[in-house]
Chains A and B, each alone.
Chain A
Amino acid sequence: MSSSVDTQARGFLTSLSDTLWRKPGLLVFLLILPPALWLGIIYLGSLFALLAQSFFSIDEFTGIIQYELTFKTYAELFRPSNFDIIIRTVVMSAAVTIAAAIIGFPVAYYAARYARGKWKALFYLGVMMPLWSSYLVKVYSWKLILAKEGILNWLFETLHLGWLLNAYLSIPIIGGNSLSVSATGTFLVFLYVWLPFMILPVQAALERVPQSMLEASGDLGAHPAQTFRHVLLPLALPGVIAGSIFTFSLTLGDYIIPQIVGSSRRFIGQAVYAYQGTAGNIPLAAAFAVVPILLMAVYLWIAKRQGAFDAL
């Protein structure tokens, strides 16, 4: 009896194995199914549920959400106060991305080309270490650094350069009462927090640029600036683009930094939080949430057109 059960069991497993071998497509399907379900239902499904909300609207009079398809909520995005938020966020994201690329590139270049042995380890440690501590702790400590009675202000005063800082802070839009309540402060903190996300991909890209190409460029009489412009930068561009996707999208979505450091003027993330969390205006919150998605789509499309992904 027991031997026949064994045979049966073995027979099933054998036929299963045979089927899978004969139809490799089925095996692939079964293997892909769980992650596809995860991505499709949990990941994208929830996203689409949110986006669908953006096609509803809120009744102006009663504040009740109306479940009829409309573009009215999207039109609200173009009201001056809401459009300001979008512009402010995009300008900040672009500024942070460009600054991160400018600062990150030389750091990554040094690490990829010159750092060896323990210096390389030190580099990784230096870049990664800020990521190990809590994001909130970092932002709060920056608030203290930038405060009116903080260390940076003290440094300027000690160097008798207080007038310089004050002159800078009196500039409208980017200035304020102190660095920690100015847009410049928000920018600096964003830059600090997201910089590792720029440095690491750029460094990975630079390591793959063959030394021989740079030497060949020099041998053919190119000035170092020309070598950089025509050889190094194009070859490292995928890394810069990858890094910029991180810094740009992370800045677009963040709502904690502008709440702690800056002039209280809203960014997209904060607007979503306020509309969804306290106002019950989920359609407008959803419409705001669509903005970064569209912006990133356009950004990726332009990057692709520029050939940034050709080398990948």
Chain B
Amino acid sequence: MGVGLSHSLCRLGKIAGCIHRGKLSMNTVLKSGTAMVLALTLAGQTSAQTMLTELGEGEGQVNIVAWPGYLERGETDKSFDWITDFEEKTGCKVAIKNANTSDEMVALMNEGGFDLVTASGDASLRMVAGKRVQPINIDLIPSWSTVDERLKEAPWHFVDGTHYGVPYMWGPNVLMYSTEVFDEAPTSWDVVFKPMDLPDGQPNEGRVQAYDGPIHIADAANYLMHNQPDLGITSPYELNEDQYAAALDLLRGQRKLVGRYWHDAFIQIDDFKNEGMAASGTWPFQVNLLKGGGAPVASTIPVEGATGWADSTMMHSEAENPNCSYMWMEHSLASNLQSDLSVWFGANPAVPTACTDGRGMQTAEGCTTNGMDDFERVKFWTTPVSTCESQGTCVPYYRWVSDYIGVIGGR
């Protein structure tokens, strides 16, 4: 259970925006120790972009930076173990370093000493750009062919025709609703954005929640993208001033409906149990736990689609244990990991057959609950930057942060 808590805390930082921090620290007067180390390593390393072409003996060790809960060896819960097997089979001892935010992940990888990292969309591109990760030779990963076609060349790890990562897990941010309030699944996100009476005749004011992170602005933009096409939004992460202002207006209206913004998965679970909540955007994780506890909730992805997250395993440009690393990447696709982790985390496996082939506990039904069939409708989290592809200049992430604080404060 603690896993989910820490992970939910990390999600908030996961979309962290200080893209330029690493680069900049070099010309600052007040260098922190880490920044200094970083600058030195960056300066001392010319590109080590050589791709492994042949797999050798395992080195006996592999060091992985991961989100909390991503690497389980049966210590949190006996039935969730996808490491022991690997260690016995390959002789590679897995050393886990948990990181709570994307920034932390990037910092750890910059310091070095690690072989692999389970990076999310925003962190992954930063590391590719900073040459912290090396190209992956997919020929050395026999199970590559089993990877979801939709993920094989996803833009968050496939850059300029080169593979930099092996897909690990992904998940949508679904709309959770109380089945006591809704007879059938709500079809639109407007139940959490617009004031209205819910099917049980009571107003939705005070009975809906929203995510307490600036990335929630993207959910508003996603809603507008569908419902106000004249704004011309093409990506909820790339907003010009007008589109951004419209999204903030929508959120200001939402503030009047929301009693408390959810920040921690377990607090939200508690709110659905004890505060009479009717609907909220959430992760499948909470839906699974609530359902498991017998609470009358269900989830759906409404007509507008949803935002989501996708992580991939990436390899350090100077990984000391490349052979064990490749063995792990193969293991991450071939073993019970994909199946059991998707149950454990309420996420979707990068290998679709893991839903059905009985290698772990996941079932086709479970995958459907987690959003497996809705890939096309998910807009995956990326960090909003000022120079964006779709329209030249966009509102950067740090303004999302300050403005969202204002919105929650009632401004």
Binding site for B on A (CB under 8 A): 49, 52-53, 58, 61-65, 67, 80-82, 84-85, 88, 143-144, 147-150, 176-178, 180-181, 259-260, 262-266, 271, 274-275, 277-281, 284
User: Is B259 a contact of A275 with CB atoms below 8 Å?
Assistant: no
Question: Is B38 positioned at the interface, with any CB of A under 8 Å from its CB?
Answer: no
User: Is B411 a contact of A278 with CB atoms below 8 Å?
Assistant: no
Cα distance, A49 to B385, chains bound together (Å): 28
Give, as a whole number of angstroms, the nearest-CB distance from A217 to chain B.
49
Give, as a whole number of angstroms, the nearest-CB distance from A121 to chain B.
36
Contacts of B408 in A (CB 8 A): 264-266
0 or 1 for each of B260-284: is its CB under 8 Å from A? (1 = yes): 1101100100110111100000000
- Overall SS of chain B's interface: loop
Stretch at the interface among B19-27, B46-54, B311-319, B331-339: B19-27
User: Is B275 a contact of A147 with CB atoms below 8 Å?
Assistant: yes
Question: Is B258 positioned at the interface, with any CB of A under 8 Å from its CB?
Answer: yes
* Contact partner, B259, options A58, A181, A260, A266, Cβ 8 Å: A181
Question: Is B142 positioned at the interface, with any CB of A under 8 Å from its CB?
Answer: no
Question: Is B18 positioned at the interface, with any CB of A under 8 Å from its CB?
Answer: yes
Cα distance, A281 to B410, chains bound together (Å): 22
User: Is A260 a contact of B18 with CB atoms below 8 Å?
Assistant: no
0 or 1 for each of B373-401: is its CB under 8 Å from A? (1 = yes): 00000000000011000000000111111
Task: Name the interface residues of B12-38: CB closer than 8 Å to any CB of A.
Answer: 12-13, 15-21, 24, 27-30, 32
User: Is A63 a contact of B411 with CB atoms below 8 Å?
Assistant: no
Contacts of B386 in A (CB 8 A): 61-63
Question: Is B111 positioned at the interface, with any CB of A under 8 Å from its CB?
Answer: no
Contacts of A85 in B (CB 8 A): 405, 409
User: Is A178 a contact of B275 with CB atoms below 8 Å?
Assistant: yes
User: Is B411 a contact of A279 with CB atoms below 8 Å?
Assistant: no
Name which residue of chain B comes closest to A65, CB basis: B24
* Contact partner, B263, options A80, A178, A259, Cβ 8 Å: A259
Question: Is B101 positioned at the interface, with any CB of A under 8 Å from its CB?
Answer: yes
User: Is A284 a contact of B402 with CB atoms below 8 Å?
Assistant: yes
Binding site for A on B (CB under 8 A): 12-13, 15-21, 24, 27-30, 32, 101, 103, 206-207, 212-214, 258-261, 263-264, 267, 270-271, 273-276, 385-386, 396-403, 405-406, 408-411
Contacts of A149 in B (CB 8 A): 273-276
User: Is B409 a contact of A266 with CB atoms below 8 Å?
Assistant: yes
Give, as a whole number of angstroms, the nearest-CB distance from A85 to chain B.
6
A81/B409 contact (C-beta < 8 A), A143-B267, A262-B260, A279-B401 known: yes
User: Is A63 a contact of B401 with CB atoms below 8 Å?
Assistant: no
Of A65, A67, A280, the most chain B CB neighbours within 10 A belong to A280
Contacts of B15 in A (CB 8 A): 278
Contacts of A281 in B (CB 8 A): 18, 398, 401-402
* Contact partner, B27, options A67, A264, A266, Cβ 8 Å: A67
User: Is B401 a contact of A278 with CB atoms below 8 Å?
Assistant: yes
* Contact partner, A148, options B32, B103, B275, B403, Cβ 8 Å: B275
User: Is A279 a contact of B18 with CB atoms below 8 Å?
Assistant: yes
A-B contacts, 29 of them at CB < 8 A, read A62-B386, A63-B17, A63-B18, A63-B396, A63-B397, A64-B24, A80-B411, A81-B402, A85-B409, A88-B409, A143-B270, A144-B274, A147-B270, A148-B275, A176-B259, A177-B207, A178-B275, A180-B275, A181-B260, A260-B267, A263-B259, A263-B260, A264-B261, A275-B401, A277-B101, A279-B214, A280-B18, A280-B20, A280-B398
User: Is B258 a contact of A264 with CB atoms below 8 Å?
Assistant: yes
User: Is B213 a contact of A278 with CB atoms below 8 Å?
Assistant: yes
Contacts of B403 in A (CB 8 A): 81
Cα distance, A64 to B409, chains bound together (Å): 26
User: Is A278 a contact of B16 with CB atoms below 8 Å?
Assistant: yes
Name which residue of chain A comes closest to B408, CB basis: A264
A274/B27 contact (C-beta < 8 A), A177-B259, A266-B409, A280-B21 known: no
A279/B398 contact (C-beta < 8 A), A67-B29, A265-B408 known: yes
User: Is A277 a contact of B274 with CB atoms below 8 Å?
Assistant: no
Give, as a whole number of angstroms, the nearest-CB distance from A311 to chain B.
41
Contacts of A81 in B (CB 8 A): 402-403, 405-406, 409, 411
Of A84, A177, A266, the most chain B CB neighbours within 10 A belong to A177
A181/B409 contact (C-beta < 8 A), A63-B397, A284-B402 known: no
Cα distance, A259 to B385, chains bound together (Å): 28
User: Is A150 a contact of B396 with CB atoms below 8 Å?
Assistant: no
Cα distance, A64 to B270, chains bound together (Å): 39
Contacts of B214 in A (CB 8 A): 274, 278-279
Give, as a whole number of angstroms, the nearest-CB distance from A130 to chain B.
21
Give, as a whole number of angstroms, the nearest-CB distance from A152 to chain B.
12
User: Is A265 a contact of B259 with CB atoms below 8 Å?
Assistant: no
Contacts of A148 in B (CB 8 A): 274-276
User: Is A264 a contact of B13 with CB atoms below 8 Å?
Assistant: no
Name 10 extra pairs, CB < 8 A, besides A67-B28, A147-B271, A280-B19.
A65-B28, A81-B409, A84-B409, A88-B409, A148-B274, A148-B275, A149-B276, A260-B264, A263-B260, A279-B16
Give, as a whole number of angstroms, the nearest-CB distance from B64 to chain A.
23
Cα distance, A85 to B30, chains bound together (Å): 28
A181/B275 contact (C-beta < 8 A), A81-B402, A143-B267, A279-B17 known: yes
